[in-house]
Amino acid sequence: MSLNPRRIQLMDTTLRDGEQTQGVAFTPTEKVSIAKALLQNLRVDRIEVASARVSEGEKEAVRNINQWAQQEGFGDRVEVLGFVDHTRSVDWIKSTGGQVINLLAKGSEKHCREQLGKTLEQHCADVLQTIGYAHEQGLKINIYLEDWSNGYKDSRDYVFGLIDRLKDAPLSHFMLPDTLGVMAPDEVFASFSDMCGRYPNLQFDFHPHNDYGLATANVMAAVRAGVSAVHCTINCLGERAGNASLAEVAVVLRDKMNMELAIDESHLVRISNMVENFSGKRIADNAPIVGADVFTQTAGIHADGDQKGGLYKTKLGPERFSRTRSYALGKMSGKASLKKNLEQLEVELSEEDQKKVLARIVALGDSKQTITTDDLPFIIADVLESKSYQHIKLLACSVNSGLDLQSTVSLRVEVNGDKHQATGAGNGGFDAFIDAIGTVLVKYDYTLPKLADFEIRIPKGGNTNALTECVITWDCGHELRKTRGVHVNQVFAAMLATIKLINIQLHEMANTNP
């Protein structure tokens, strides 16, 4: 085994193949933002940003990306999918300032015969004609062999005949896709070993899909067989079950295969969040690397092991991805889970008080309640009858809303023992509440942070009278904080979540400025 790690390129196709996800369409501005983050921050080797001739909006986005990329020295790393249409795709790409075309050829005899109605020789003549024109125009050319996985399985002679006719053309990468995600790792390894052994002087890319949930495993097999580049997307975006996850692939190649990659892992979560917001496609909380819960220990025995010697920590640590480890509070919590959260809050409790607080946490967990670290001060305050986190109390509140009318709120609050009344108006009851509470809090030199996310949930299968849980994520500048409120009325649940945040921050202000 070589002591020097092998270099593998990662090509991100979120902006092209990822946009083929059902319901996903990035605006030109969003495309530029994602492209910049991929190349400048995450440092992927190449990005595929669009398909040629799709729309004027697509052309505007590609033109803007290319203009920025050329200024920053990334021009030859921005690629566009083009078609075997002689001049049309090439001219479209040139008009956007592009430098690279990824030409889509037919990688299976069935596609060539039934979709195009052509023989291998006729198709190759058309491909070479487009390649010749692209080369004359100064473009770098890569080639996709569409549906190569089925093409290789059904007729290797066709695949070999296609490559034999194209191998001497000015092509940089031969990109072999598992277009329908039908391959398993042993099939990938056998077929790529054959391709790499038969054509040792060609650079092969692997473009996997995840229909069987095998995309990352298939990437490992392809890399073992000798491919030089792998195609991925952020958050597994892509048609049907999506493409290979860039986060998963990058970490697996580094940790499990000792491959050298260019990317900066510390930006994986940030760009995952950006793509999640722009695409509208939420990722699972337990998604590897980027999921909200993947660095949260739930079982008390795990927290205990970490407390006593990092027994449940691995190479896959949160700090590597600019994240932190957390310890969930619920019915499976133990004393160590509570201690870890108390350390985070810089709160000290006696052993007896810890037992009382833990009993309340377990009881809440048994009732299916979600408990966050931000809830802990209130549980502590309730259990110990402490007033330290009761800086503000909502004593009374009335909300009036009407169709096509502004909502109004009248409220009465107590802040540090002083009672205040206030009214507010806004676009809905919660907006009116924020207006009203703001007129009180300004007297205490406090301004609510902006909302980063706002979720309303009821239990699955719940009735119309079910409790409503409101979880608000607040952008507190240096960090994001979540608070939760529960009430039968969703507006009041949001108000309670807001009061929780105000209490936490007023308490911090009091400790900072005693």
Catalytic residues: 16, 146
- Listed residue (307, 347, 348) closest to 327, CA to CA: 307
Count of C-beta atoms within a 10 Å radius of residue 216:
23
Q: What are the C-alpha distances in Å from 215 to residues 8, 71, 236, 247, 248?
A: 16, 35, 10, 12, 10
Cα-Cα-Cα-Cα torsion 353, 356, 357, 360, nearest 10 degrees, comes to -170
Residue 264's Cβ-side half-sphere holds a number of Cα atoms within 13 Å equal to 12
Task: Compute how many other C-beta atoms are within 10 angstroms of the C-beta atom of residue 286.
Answer: 10
- Give Cα 132 to chain centroid, integer Å: 39
Distance of CA 402 to the CA centre of its chain: 38
- Residue the block writes with tokens 């200024």: 71
Q: Are strands 450-457 and 468-475 parallel, antiparallel or unpaired?
A: antiparallel
Give the number of C-alpha atoms closer than 13 A to the C-alpha of residue 54, restricted to the C-beta side: 18
Which long-range contacts does 214-218 make (Cβ < 8 Å, 24+ apart)? Answer: 214/181, 214/183, 214/184, 214/185, 215/181, 215/242, 215/243, 215/244, 215/245, 216/244, 216/245, 216/248, 216/249, 216/252, 217/185, 218/178, 218/183, 218/184, 218/185, 218/188, 218/244
| Residue 12 and residue 207 in contact, taking contact as beta carbons nearer than 8 Å | no
Pairing of β 468-475 and β 480-487: antiparallel
| Nearest residue to 144 (alpha-carbon basis) of 215, 184, 62, 89 | 89
Return d(Cα 73, Cα 440) in angstroms, integer. 52
The H or E element containing residue 9 is strand 9-12
Which two structure tokens, joined as six digits, stand for 67?
């203009």
CA 401 to chain centre: 37
Instruction: Determine contact, residues 219/230, Cβ cutoff 8 Å.
Output: yes
Q: Give the span between the Cα atoms of 61 and 54, in whole angstroms.
A: 11
Q: CA angle, corner 50, sides to 137 and 182, nearest 5? A: 115
Q: What is the DSSP string of 419-469?
A: EEEEEEEESSHHHHHHHHHHHHHGGGT--PPEEEEEEEE--TT--TTS-EE
